[in-house]
Chains A and B, each alone.
Chain A
Amino acid sequence: MSIDITIAIIITMVGASTPLLLAALGELVVEKSGVLNLGIEGMMLTGAVVGFAVTYDTGNPWLGILAAAFAGMAVSMLFAVLTLSLSSNQVATGLALTIFGTGFSALFGQAYTGKPIALFKSVFPDSLTDDRFLRVFFDYSPLVYFSLFMVFVVWWFLQKTRAGLILRAVGENDHSAHSIGYSVAKVRYGAVAFGGAMAGIAGACFPLILTPQWVEGLTGGRGWIALALVVFAAWRPGRLLAGAYLFGLIATMELYAKAAGGAFRILPSELWASLPYLATIAVLVMISMRRTKSSSAPACLGKPFMPNN
């Protein structure tokens, strides 16, 4: 394999992994606070359609991203009110959120079907992005650098800051956190809002850096993969990065393999298309099996908090 193809594969892989990484990082924070939001797919689709529409109407992808973040957050607040204030079941509400997001994005997106936008490309000078070797560092959308930065931010926030410690404490033992005097609901609202914004931005990645148009169901189930990634990565941002890139790598290999033809034709293309999902799960299961004891879920994950006094 030539160096050019390798670099091309890396660049495609990073792009394909970015939405997955962003959505999973958001969900990681949500789950660390003890909330299970299964509505990622719905929030991503909402973010995707709003991000596309605003970018198309204003021509400014930055505004599109901002709008997508707010759209994702708005939808997540619907989930937060239902589950945190009204104590509805988190699993059912999350599923409903996905159904809502799918329907809403299809309806809202009808007016934009078939219309093109420009891809949100690297902001570095051409001398860097066109260089045969350096492009492996510079030929990415700003969203890619943002996602990598967020891996660090989420890790730093959870492990190094007091606010992060409180968030973990709430996810670990909500009653104790309450009795020490922390507001469980406030912390969880904040976490869910962050998760919504991240999912919204993740959704916007699809039209902005992958396929510059709106089609129904654009996210292709990546929200569910993000959800699985969080679990198999044992709620650790670093492993999340590895898992997301692994998924992106296999998805990319599949594209190149199909183009190369030959021996790859033996397997039907549907199987190739499912390979990234299968491989990601298989590898992450192996990782999480090795260290079952340390990779425990937040103890209050998915349980509604009702103070008993």
Chain B
Amino acid sequence: MPDNAPNRLELNGITKQFPGVLANDTVSFNIAPGEIHALLGENGAGKSTLVKMIYGIMKSDAGSMVWDGEPFEVSNPKEARAKGIGMVFQHFSLFEALTVLENIALGMDGSLSLKELETKVVEVMQAYGLTLQPDRMVSSLSVGERQRIEIVRALLLNPKLLIMDEPTSVLTPQEVKQLFTTLRQLASEGCSILYISHKLNEIKELCHNATILRGGKVVGECNPAEETSKSMAEMMIGGSLKEISKGETNIFGDVLLNVGSLSLAKSHDFGTALKDISFEVRQGEIFGVAGVAGNGQNELLAVLSGEALAKGEDDIILHGKSIGHFGPNHRRKVGLCCVPEERNGHAAVSDFSLSDNAILTARHRKNLVKTGMILNGPSVAYADEIIKKFGVMATGSRANAGSLSGGNLQKFIMGREILQVPEVLVVSQPTWGVDAGAAAFIHQALVDMAQAGSAIVVISQDLDELLALCETISVINEGTLSKAMEVKGISIDEVGLLMGGVHGANNVDQANDIDKEVSNAVQA
């Protein structure tokens, strides 16, 4: 790229004031054509606000933007897309009751027919190795698959600037590599990329430059290749980052959770059936379940939490007691607590206060209810205790769960279960979309809990997280669980193959089949 070419985008003193918070304070930086620029910062640092202004969802209070050398002002996303700005959201803007294809069509401003669009979608998916069935209902898709829709939607616009908000959290290492190849290819074609991620090693590998935000201000710029992950994380949080500290030796106690030959039929057409799942988790052990989204993780969590009942009582044994036929409340009472993947709507009710949300799962173990009446004092006290011990940033126990940022709500939910001190804790995606500081805190809390004598199951698509946290991991693929492997001496490639291998090949076949069906239909 010639040096004298104007910057793709220049931000000059962008400021945005919210009631009580200065979300962005005179933020300035430039992105050159073909540059992959990282935007780093904790949750609440103002990254989302900033990209929303670039994408035209919000208007800045002060400051100006320059696009390809011209003054630039967008008042809505449609104008932004017309300029060539594509965005992959962290919180997906998808419509559950519509199909994949319809969702993509909604993000396109052109007047393509659905048929023509489908052909283009299949082309883009094949070019970038993203597999999706266009006629599936979004409500039946996993988080990872939903994100692929967003990526395809953005790529279809041939963007000049692509904004990606935490795009790799749900991909296998192989898929991340593939995505990076795609992004580098896009960048070499002149497309600029604004890349928001909390995975600092990815930023090191991929990005040319990084701007670090803290409290709405730019606190630093760096070349990620020359920094270490640790140094960038410390710039981001403005302090030193603690590594997970584990005890030196792993001496495990009794088997607390024993799952034997557990099978579960599909709950809906696009679900995954669980087949003959067996594993055991001992006192003090953190057991990881790796795998790509949509391979049965949701079903596994449901059957462990009691939302779905196991076929046989003895399929799930908690410290010698059969609990396969118990519902979630009963399981919690006897010592098994769960944290599902979805924070809002599954783990917490967003329109309820934090203390009410505490009552929802902790009422038995913490005695927050007596003869059918809520005990207000203890409930508020418990919520306050969680807020205090887990460093939850909230206006108090009366704050609505929905008013918290993702990381803070996750800390609250984790705290709510951990402080009940269950014998077994099952968590899914404990740090999905959570910033580095909060993620480190949650990880440490899990490690401490295991060392205090609980058994923990972590279901996650973030392999780095599992490798850092767990002693033992298994890979779930199409509803079957691999044998447990010790994390010490494991190779990432091996796990990656277990995660992606067969399932990925099947997906490609399916996509090809659909392709054929489409072309047959067109010919007929």
Min distance, Cβ B106 to any Cβ of chain A, angstroms: 5
List, in ascending order, chain A residues with CB within 8 A of B57's CB: 179, 309
The stretch of A35-43, A160-168, A206-214 that contacts the partner chain: A160-168
> Quick one: CB contact mask for A286-304 with B, threshold 8 Å, 1 for yes?
0000000100101100000
Q: Which of B44-87 contact A (CB under 8 A)?
A: 52, 56-58, 76-78, 81
**Across the two chains, which residue of chain B brings its CB closest to A173?**
B95
> Quick one: CB contact mask for A160-184 with B, threshold 8 Å, 1 for yes?
0010011011001101110111100
Min distance, Cβ B239 to any Cβ of chain A, angstroms: 30
> Quick one: CB contact mask for A83-122 with B, threshold 8 Å, 1 for yes?
0000000000000000000000000000000000000000
A172 touches B105 (CB 8 A): no
How far, in whole Å, are A180 and B76 apart by their CA atoms in the complex? 9
List, in ascending order, chain B residues with CB within 8 A of A176's CB: 92-95
**Across the two chains, which residue of chain A brings its CB closest to B74?**
A181
**Across the two chains, which residue of chain A brings its CB closest to B87?**
A179
**Across the two chains, which residue of chain A brings its CB closest to B103?**
A169
In this assembly, does B412 line the interface, its C-beta being within 8 Å of a C-beta of chain A?
no
Complex partner residue of A168 from B78, B81, B94, B98, CB under 8 angstroms:
B98
* Interface size band for A: 10 to 19
How far, in whole Å, are A222 and B106 apart by their CA atoms in the complex? 36
A162 touches B97 (CB 8 A): no
Q: Which of A148-169 contact B (CB under 8 A)?
A: 162, 165-166, 168-169
List, in ascending order, chain A residues with CB within 8 A of B52's CB: 309
How far, in whole Å, are A168 and B95 apart by their CA atoms in the complex? 9
A162 touches B105 (CB 8 A): yes
Given A162-B105, A179-B57, A179-B77, also A172-B268 (CB < 8 A): no
How far, in whole Å, are A179 and B58 apart by their CA atoms in the complex? 10
Min distance, Cβ A34 to any Cβ of chain B, angstroms: 11
List, in ascending order, chain A residues with CB within 8 A of B111's CB: 162
List, in ascending order, chain A residues with CB within 8 A of B135's CB: none
In this assembly, does B96 line the interface, its C-beta being within 8 Å of a C-beta of chain A?
yes
**Across the two chains, which residue of chain A brings its CB closest to B58?**
A309
List, in ascending order, chain B residues with CB within 8 A of A309's CB: 52, 57-58
Given A173-B93, A293-B268, A309-B57, also A181-B98 (CB < 8 A): no
Min distance, Cβ B187 to any Cβ of chain A, angstroms: 25
Complex partner residue of B105 from A165, A181, A182, CB under 8 angstroms:
A165
List, in ascending order, chain A residues with CB within 8 A of B93's CB: 173, 175-176, 179-180
A299 touches B268 (CB 8 A): no
Complex partner residue of B98 from A172, A180, A182, CB under 8 angstroms:
A172
Min distance, Cβ A164 to any Cβ of chain B, angstroms: 10
**Across the two chains, which residue of chain A brings its CB closest to B112?**
A162
Min distance, Cβ A78 to any Cβ of chain B, angstroms: 29
**Across the two chains, which residue of chain A brings its CB closest to B76?**
A181
A181 touches B56 (CB 8 A): yes
Q: Which of A11-54 contact B (CB under 8 A)?
A: none
How far, in whole Å, are A153 and B254 apart by their CA atoms in the complex? 67
> Quick one: CB contact mask for B93-126 with A, threshold 8 Å, 1 for yes?
1111110001001110001000000000000000
B106 touches A179 (CB 8 A): no
Complex partner residue of A298 from B77, B92, B97, CB under 8 angstroms:
B97
How far, in whole Å, are A299 and B58 apart by their CA atoms in the complex? 25
Min distance, Cβ B221 to any Cβ of chain A, angstroms: 27
Number of interface residues of B (CB under 8 A): 22
How far, in whole Å, are A309 and B105 apart by their CA atoms in the complex? 25
Min distance, Cβ B75 to any Cβ of chain A, angstroms: 10
How far, in whole Å, are A82 and B174 apart by their CA atoms in the complex? 53
Min distance, Cβ A167 to any Cβ of chain B, angstroms: 11
How far, in whole Å, are A180 and B91 apart by their CA atoms in the complex? 12
List, in ascending order, chain B residues with CB within 8 A of A162's CB: 105, 111
A180 touches B105 (CB 8 A): no
B106 touches A165 (CB 8 A): yes
How far, in whole Å, are A108 and B113 apart by their CA atoms in the complex? 49
How far, in whole Å, are A173 and B106 apart by their CA atoms in the complex? 12
B95 touches A172 (CB 8 A): yes
In this assembly, does B89 line the interface, its C-beta being within 8 Å of a C-beta of chain A?
yes
List, in ascending order, chain B residues with CB within 8 A of A173's CB: 93-96
A180 touches B96 (CB 8 A): no
Min distance, Cβ A177 to any Cβ of chain B, angstroms: 8
> Quick one: CB contact mask for A235-279 with B, threshold 8 Å, 1 for yes?
000000000000000000000000000000000000000000000
Min distance, Cβ B164 to any Cβ of chain A, angstroms: 16
Please indicate which of the listed interface residues B56, B89, B95, B268 has the most CB atoms of chain A within 10 Å of its own CB.
Answer: B95
How far, in whole Å, are A172 and B138 apart by their CA atoms in the complex? 12
How far, in whole Å, are A177 and B103 apart by their CA atoms in the complex? 10
How far, in whole Å, are A166 and B109 apart by their CA atoms in the complex? 11
How far, in whole Å, are A27 and B322 apart by their CA atoms in the complex? 51
A165 touches B102 (CB 8 A): yes
List, in ascending order, chain B residues with CB within 8 A of A179's CB: 57, 77, 89, 93
B106 touches A166 (CB 8 A): yes
How far, in whole Å, are A173 and B78 apart by their CA atoms in the complex? 18
B97 touches A299 (CB 8 A): yes
Complex partner residue of A169 from B78, B89, B106, CB under 8 angstroms:
B106
Please indicate which of the listed interface residues A166, A169, A181, A299 has the most CB atoms of chain B within 10 Å of its own CB.
Answer: A181
A181 touches B89 (CB 8 A): no
List, in ascending order, chain B residues with CB within 8 A of A296's CB: 97
How far, in whole Å, are A296 and B98 apart by their CA atoms in the complex? 12
How far, in whole Å, are A258 and B96 apart by their CA atoms in the complex? 49
Min distance, Cβ B243 to any Cβ of chain A, angstroms: 37
Min distance, Cβ B24 to any Cβ of chain A, angstroms: 13
How far, in whole Å, are A165 and B97 apart by their CA atoms in the complex? 11
> Quick one: CB contact mask for A51-92 with B, threshold 8 Å, 1 for yes?
000000000000000000000000000000000000000000
How far, in whole Å, are A176 and B146 apart by their CA atoms in the complex? 14
List, in ascending order, chain B residues with CB within 8 A of A175's CB: 93
List, in ascending order, chain A residues with CB within 8 A of B107's CB: 180
How far, in whole Å, are A172 and B89 apart by their CA atoms in the complex? 18
How far, in whole Å, are A275 and B97 apart by their CA atoms in the complex? 35
A181 touches B78 (CB 8 A): yes
Min distance, Cβ B135 to any Cβ of chain A, angstroms: 13
How far, in whole Å, are A176 and B94 apart by their CA atoms in the complex? 6
**Across the two chains, which residue of chain A brings its CB closest to B78?**
A181
List, in ascending order, chain B residues with CB within 8 A of A166's CB: 106
**Across the two chains, which residue of chain B brings its CB closest to A297?**
B97
A172 touches B77 (CB 8 A): no
List, in ascending order, chain A residues with CB within 8 A of B81's CB: 181
Please indicate which of the listed interface residues B56, B57, B78, B97 has the most CB atoms of chain A within 10 Å of its own CB.
Answer: B97
**Across the two chains, which residue of chain B brings its CB closest to A293?**
B268
Min distance, Cβ B17 to any Cβ of chain A, angstroms: 12
**Across the two chains, which residue of chain A brings its CB closest to B75?**
A181
Min distance, Cβ A231 to any Cβ of chain B, angstroms: 16
How far, in whole Å, are A162 and B98 apart by their CA atoms in the complex? 13
List, in ascending order, chain A residues with CB within 8 A of B76's CB: 181
Known: A162-B111, A179-B57, A179-B93. 15 other contacts (CB 8 A): A165-B102, A166-B106, A168-B97, A169-B95, A169-B98, A169-B106, A173-B93, A176-B92, A180-B107, A181-B56, A293-B268, A296-B97, A298-B97, A299-B96, A309-B58
**Can you list 22 residue pairs at the A/B interface with Cβ under 8 Å?**
A162-B111, A165-B98, A165-B102, A166-B106, A168-B98, A169-B95, A172-B96, A173-B94, A173-B95, A173-B96, A176-B93, A176-B95, A177-B106, A179-B57, A179-B93, A180-B77, A180-B107, A181-B56, A182-B106, A293-B268, A298-B97, A299-B96
Sort A-B residue pairs by CB-CB distance and give the 8 closest, nearest first: A176-B93, A181-B77, A181-B78, A172-B95, A179-B93, A181-B76, A173-B95, A169-B95
Interface residues of B, Cβ cutoff 8 Å to A: 52, 56-58, 76-78, 81, 89, 92-98, 102, 105-107, 111, 268
